[in-house]
Amino acid sequence: MSTDVPDVARSRPEVMKRGRGPVALVTGGRRGIARAIAIELAGRGYDVAITDLEDDEEASITLRGVEDHGGRALFVQSNLGDVASHAAVVEQVLCWADRIDCLVNNAGIGSPVRGDLLDVGPQAFDQVLGVNLKGTFFMTQAVARHMLSAASPHPRSIVTVSSVSATMASPERAEYCLSKAALPMMTRLFALRLAKSGIPVFEVRPGIIRTPMTAGVAQKYEARFAEGLVPMTRWGETGDVAKAVAQLVGGSLQFATGSVLSVDGGLSIPAF
- Whether 2 shows a pLDDT value over 50: the answer reads no
Average pLDDT, the chain: 92
Say whether domain 9-259 belongs to CATH 3.40.50.720.
yes
Q: Which residues are catalytic?
A: 176
What pLDDT band is residue 11 in, cutting at 50, 70 and 90? Answer: low
Tens of pLDDT, residues 197-246: 999 999 999 999 998 878 777 888 888 888 889 999 999 999 999 999 99
pLDDT(157) > 50: yes
Per-residue model confidence (pLDDT) at position 18: 46
DSSP code per residue over the chain = ---PPPTTEEEES------SS-EEEEETTTSHHHHHHHHHHHHTT-EEEEEES--SHHHHHHHHHHHHTT--EEEEE--TT-GGGHHHHHHHHHHHHS---EEEE------SS-S-GGG--HHHHHHHHIIIIIIHHHHHHHHHHHHHHS--SS--EEEEE--GGGTS--GGGHHHHHHHHTHHHHHHHHHHHHGGGT--EEEEEE-SB-SGGGGGGHHHHHHHHHTTSSTT-S-B-HHHHHHHHHHHHTSTTGGGTT-EEEESTTTTS---
Listed range (35-44, 59-68, 169-178, 221-230) with the worst mean pLDDT? 221-230
Work out the percent of the chain whose per-residue pLDDT is above 90: 85
pTM: 0.92
> Which whole number is the average pLDDT over 132-149?
98
